[in-house]
Amino acid sequence: MGFWKRLKKKWLVYPLGLAIGLLGGLFGAGGGMIAVPMLRAMGVQGNKSHATSLAITLPLAVASGFLYFQAGHFHFADAWIYLPGGVAGALLGGYLLPRIKTVWLRRAFGVIILFSAGRLLWK
């Protein structure tokens, strides 16, 4: 492993955490979207970068959710109806991750994201 690679592997973890936290706190989402490419740059390969990003974003989401709740931004009552679909989706995702290549998912995702960006910016 070269010097630069080792340096990236060792030190990127700090800006990584900070950036994921900032985005998670600011948008209540999006940590994973930047965590995966950054983890890759650190040498975490393929599907492992996707799985690892979740383990990082979960405790941050708990903290962020607590701050949002404290600030009175939302009611828990608005969240529970999404639980069944969420758990079912998570089971499918957990089954799929070791078995799929994420590349075609990323392209489909890119299209959805761009469409949504348009809706948000020009609504």
Site for other proteins in 31-90 (CB under 8 A): 31-33, 35-37, 39-40, 42, 44-65, 67-69, 71, 73-76, 78-79, 81-90
Return the number of the residue (3 or 76) whose C-beta is nearest other proteins: 76
Please report, for residues 44, 73, 111, the alpha-carbon distance to residue 24 in angstroms, rounded to integers and kept in the order given. Answer: 21, 15, 22
Q: Quick check: 102 binds other proteins (CB under 8 A)? A: yes
Distance of alpha carbon 13 from its chain centroid, rounded? Answer: 15
Return the number of the residue (6 or 82) whose C-beta is nearest other proteins: 82
| Token pair recorded at residue 26 | 């600011």
CA-CA distance, 103 to 36, in Å (whole number)?
13
One residue of 1, 3, 4, 14 binding other proteins per CB under 8 A:
14
Give 64's contacts (C-beta < 8 A, 6+ positions apart).
21, 24, 25, 28
Task: Tell the smallest beta-carbon distance from residue 3 to other proteins (Å).
Answer: 20
Task: Tell the smallest beta-carbon distance from residue 4 to other proteins (Å).
Answer: 17
Q: Quick check: 5 binds other proteins (CB under 8 A)? A: no
